[in-house]
Amino acid sequence: KAGVTQTPRYLIKTRGQQVTLSCSPISGHRSVSWYQQTPGQGLQFLFEYFSETQRNKGNFPGRFSGRQFSNSRSEMNVSTLELGDSALYLCASSLVGPATDTQYFGPGTRLTVL
Amino acid sequence: KNEVEQSPQNLTAQEGEFITINCSYSVGISALHWLQQHPGGGIVSLFMLSSGKKKHGRLIATINIQEKHSSLHITASHPRDSAVYICAAALGGAQKLVFGQGTRLTINP
């Protein structure tokens, strides 16, 4: 079974631009969660989707948004990029959700904002 | 105070030693995850616990719901165990994880 894939793996943007990251979950998994990892803040929850519905959102500004498609693939979008958005963005998938079953993580997208 | 606290933040040990990493949380949880992250960023799930104890090879994870505390143990540690270990809790049943700060483990040969 193929693992969780994320594209692109690396991205360089400048302040003010917007970016879209993609996550393809393991086949059959309906829950996709997004996380941001920085050296200063560690891992932080962004949002979680299940069957195209956002069930939970973390404490991030409205510039961070996401969606999930009917095939469970998910995208997250960051608009008006700031230097502090430079981070490793990880997605994880599971059958039902992180409160219920094992999370399978993708390799991450490393975003650098200049 | 963070909702999920891990200790120690850094741990260096010799090959063969018994390792313990601790995780405490402040409110009721529905699940506690232990994750491993190697240099380069990839994260692997080691355990998901809601009660009791789980064992996989040389790794053991325990959780005490009353004391709101979990431990990850590594027996007969090996240099390949060197990584960052992270606990994460699904607090109050919500479908989201709150993470500890991570423990950087270094095992010297």
Contacts of residue B91, defined as CB under 8 A and 6 or more positions apart, other chains included, come to B3, B4, B25, B27, B28, B29, B98
**Cβ separation of A98 and B101 shorter than 8 Å?**
no
Residue corresponding to tokens 């049943």: B93
Residue A1 pLDDT greater than 90, yes or no? no
Angstrom CA distances, B53 to B20, B34, B65, B69, B71, stand at 14, 12, 11, 12, 10
Averaged pLDDT for residues A87-111: 95
For A49, which residue in chain B has the nearest alpha carbon?
B95
Please name the member of A37, A99, A110 whose beta carbon is closest to the beta carbon of B94. A99
Which residue out of A31, A100, A112 would a mutagenesis test of the B interface target, given it has the greatest number of B Cβ atoms within 10 Å?
A100
Residue B94, pLDDT score: 85
At residue B25, what is the residue type? Y
Proportion of chain B in helix, strand, coil states, percent, rounded to 5:
5, 60, 35
* 3-class secondary-structure state, position A85: helix
* C-beta atoms of A43 and B88 within 8 A: yes
Closest approach of B82 to chain A, Cα-based (Å): 18
pLDDT one-digit tens code per residue, B3-12: 999 999 999 9
Contacts of B43 in chain A (CB under 8 A): 90, 92, 105
**Cα separation, B79 vs B106, whole angstroms:** 7
Numbered residues of chain B with Cβ closer than 8 Å to any chain A Cβ? 30-31, 33, 35, 41-45, 48, 86, 88, 90, 93-102
Q: How far is A82 from chain B (nearest CA, A)?
A: 22
Q: What is the DSSP string of A21-71?
A: EEEEPPTT--EEEEEEEETTTEEEEEEEEETTEEEEE-S--TTEEEEE-TT
Which band of pLDDT confidence, cut at 50, 70 and 90, is reported for residue B41?
Answer: confident
Residue B39: cis peptide before it, omega within 30 degrees of 0: no
SS3 state of residue A51: coil
Split at pLDDT 50, 70, 90, the class of B95 is confident
Per-residue pLDDT of A4-61, as tens digits, reads 999 999 999 999 999 999 999 999 999 999 999 999 899 999 999 999 999 999 999 9
d(CA A23, CA A21): 7
